[in-house]
Copies of this chain bind each other. A is one copy, B any other.
Amino acid sequence: MGEANEPRSECPINAAIEVFGDRWSLIVLRDIVFGDRRYFRELQANSIEGIASNILADRLKRLVKSGLLTREDTRAGQRARYSLTEPAIQLVPVFAQLGSWGLRHRPTSSALKARAVLLEQGGPALWQEFMDELRREHLDSKLPARSPSVRERLNAAYLTATNSS
């Protein structure tokens, strides 16, 4: 995928596709957003789709370059933490719609389905709450934390579905 070349068009939908329209970018972001993975090996080892390390390295680089992630600059050999930026946090509604669509029109496991269902039922209000939560964790906003967090609720739904199936 070309990097520094000019956009194919100025259509907003195309602009979005040019940033994360490939088979891995959204997967990486999904694992950071919903899985709370912040480190390279965490992202690679726990990936249910099995991302290769060179692909992950490339996507992280590109997402940083395009402003969706930031990387704490650490010396080599040390844990480097990735954080979501505001544009990436605002992908939550996109994820919600993608999940709703996949849920309805593709075969999915009942456990992984549970999160998408909850996210759909919660609607925009829940998405906003989740985005605020992400801002607290990834940006240095000093907003107070609430409990239980939305992610905890999403994961609880996942675990419940796992045990009951």
Contact = CB atoms under 8 A, between A and B. Distances in A.
A101 interface: yes
Contacts of A21: 21-23, 26
Interface string A84-117: 0001001101111111111111111100110010
Copies per assembly: 2
A15 B90 contact: no
26 contacts: A8-B48, A9-B48, A9-B49, A10-B108, A11-B108, A12-B98, A12-B101, A12-B108, A13-B102, A14-B27, A14-B48, A15-B106, A16-B98, A16-B106, A18-B106, A21-B21, A22-B22, A67-B105, A87-B101, A90-B101, A90-B104, A90-B105, A94-B97, A94-B101, A96-B97, A97-B97
Interface of A: 1, 7-19, 21-23, 26-27, 30, 48-50, 67, 87, 90-91, 93-109, 112-113, 116
